[in-house]
Amino acid sequence: FQGIFVLGLPYALLHSGYSGLFLIILAAALCCYTGKILIACLYEENEDGQLVRVRDTYEDIANACCKNLSPKLGGIVVNVTQVVELIMTCILYLVVSGNLLSQSFPHVPMTEKTWSVIAFVTLLPCVFIKTLKIVSKLSQLCSLVHFIIILVVMTYCLTQIHQWSWAKFRLSIEFEDFLVSVGVIIFSYTSQVFLPTLEGNMKNPGEFRCMLNWTHFFACVLKTAFALTAFLTWGEKTKEVITDNLPSFLQTLVNLCLLTKALLSYPLPFFAATEIVYACISRGNHSNYRSPLFALGVRGSFLLLTLLMAMFIPHFALLMGLTGSVTGAAMTFLLPSLFHLKLKWKKLSFLEKYADISVFILGFLCCLAGIVCSIKGLLEVFR
């Protein structure tokens, strides 16, 4: 929830004004809701009226919804969408790492791509990650580094409190700039790809809904406080990544912390993507596809793929925006609401059906708007 997207929230407020504060709260509520209904789709009532977990993954939910049309169609669509989004996330971390290393050591005569290769070398041990427990330990360290970054930025902002003014907020906003803000805010909360695995690995799955409520609540509070203090400090001078606004003596420290965070963030989407692909390949009866060596090969291939794409795809940021608009909106809004309606229609109240349909329509509009803006940006660049 507290990913690198958080650093773009003050910039989102610059382009969305007061409505941005409302969007941060609304996005938290919607993403929390779609997370709950997605997990609800994993369960069915048995003969005694008790809920039993009959599905394990996002793919299982999709297959259950599409079984009348094609037994495996839904799972294929979901898996492709998940893997594309996860790989793009991994590539983004490599690109960001190269950029941060280049900024931190400007006097070293090396290109960003060369720095990305160096960052890639530090990620090679990822091929040996076999369990979610190891990933969770790295994620804990990632969270610690993130809070250090937030603490440094907010502490500096509080020292500038005498410059704060609510007049810096916009009352009128440009529609296209507003759409960019919507994308940044919504996608800073997305986690639906990981939720079925997370819930299945919890010691007490019954506490999942409570956990989701509290994590989204605290994420919302932290995002709002961070975005607000940073924007009130720099106003119209707020940059896309807020750390670029810091004075030079703090920038190097924060950039190195961001680099550490990016490298520690990489294993989670990498592990999730490789597990999905390996599970799909090894379903056959051929023993070679279930060997540890084959799993190592899959992970190694994915690691190399992320490096090659990070180095050779031009205008990656715009491509990432296009992909994120499709896969992010689909996995966060469209599919959870659609699957919930399909599997639970007879048991849903009128308000629940209305909520699911509203979320689906909102997700579709976000997806469409994001695609239009991203394609427009790509066309302008290629012109």
**Across 270-274, average pLDDT:** 88
Handedness of CA 313, 123, 117, 104 (dihedral sign): positive
Q: How far apart are CA 354 and CA 126, in angstroms?
A: 43
| pLDDT band for position 287 (cuts 50, 70, 90) | low
Q: How many CB atoms lie within 10 A of CB 71?
A: 11
**Across 227-235, average pLDDT:** 91
Beta bridge partners of 51: 45
Q: How confident is the model over 117-134, as pLDDT tens digits?
A: 999 999 999 998 888 788
Handedness of CA 66, 340, 204, 208 (dihedral sign): positive
| DSSP secondary structure, 31-88, as one string | HHHHHHHHHHTTEEE-TTS-EEE---SHHHHHHHHSTTT-TTHHHHHHHHHHHHHHHH
Instruction: Look at residues 342, 362, 341 and name the one whose alpha carbon lies nearest to residue 350.
Output: 341
Confidence (pLDDT) at 38: 94
| pLDDT band for position 376 (cuts 50, 70, 90) | confident
Query: Domains (ranges, CATH) in the chain?
Result: 5-382 (1.20.1740.10)
Handedness of CA 197, 3, 141, 296 (dihedral sign): positive
Confidence (pLDDT) at 208: 94
| pLDDT band for position 112 (cuts 50, 70, 90) | confident
Tell me the CA distances in angstroms from 300 to 111, 137, 165, 241, one per residue in order. Answer: 25, 21, 51, 31
Instruction: Look at residues 311, 309, 322 and name the one whose alpha carbon lies nearest to residue 377.
Output: 322
Q: How far apart are CA 80 and CA 327, in angstroms?
A: 10
The residues, ordered by sequence, that sit 6+ positions from 14 with a Cβ below 8 Å of its Cβ are: 170, 231, 235, 236, 238
Q: Quick check: 251 and 236 in contact, CB under 8 A?
A: no
Q: Which residue has the higher pLDDT, 378 or 37?
A: 37
Q: What percent of the chain has pLDDT over 90?
A: 27
Question: Side chain identity at 149, as an amino acid letter?
Answer: I
**Across 151-180, average pLDDT:** 82
Task: Identify the residue whose tokens are 């975005």.
Answer: 227
Beta bridge partners of 45: 51
Q: How far apart are CA 34 and CA 147, in angstroms?
A: 26
Q: Which residue has the higher pLDDT, 71 or 235?
A: 235
Confidence (pLDDT) at 213: 95
Q: How far apart are CA 185 and CA 25, in angstroms?
A: 10
Q: Quick check: 73 and 180 in contact, CB under 8 A?
A: no
Confidence (pLDDT) at 69: 79
Tell me the CA distances in angstroms from 180 to 12, 185, 383, one per residue in order. Answer: 7, 9, 21
Task: Identify the residue whose tokens are 């990650």.
Answer: 129
Residue 286 has pLDDT above 60, yes or no: no
Instruction: Look at residues 262, 371, 378, 265 and name the one whose alpha carbon lies nearest to residue 313.
Output: 378
Q: What percent of the chain has pLDDT over 70?
A: 92
List % helix, strand, coil for the chain (3-state, nearest 5).
80, 0, 20
Q: How confident is the model over 289-334, as pLDDT tens digits?
A: 567 787 888 889 999 999 998 888 766 656 666 666 677 788 889 9
Q: How many CA atoms lie within 13 A of 69 on its CB side?
A: 10
Task: Identify the residue whose tokens are 């299982």.
Answer: 60
Beta bridge partners of 43: 53
Task: Identify the residue whose tokens are 């704060």.
Answer: 164
Separation of CA 107 from chain center: 33
Task: Identify the residue whose tokens are 């992909």.
Answer: 323
Least confident window among 99-108, 206-215, 371-380: 371-380
Radius of gyration of the chain (CA): 21
| pLDDT band for position 41 (cuts 50, 70, 90) | very high
* Pairing of the two strands 51-53 and 43-45: antiparallel
The residues, ordered by sequence, that sit 6+ positions from 251 with a Cβ below 8 Å of its Cβ are: 103, 243, 244
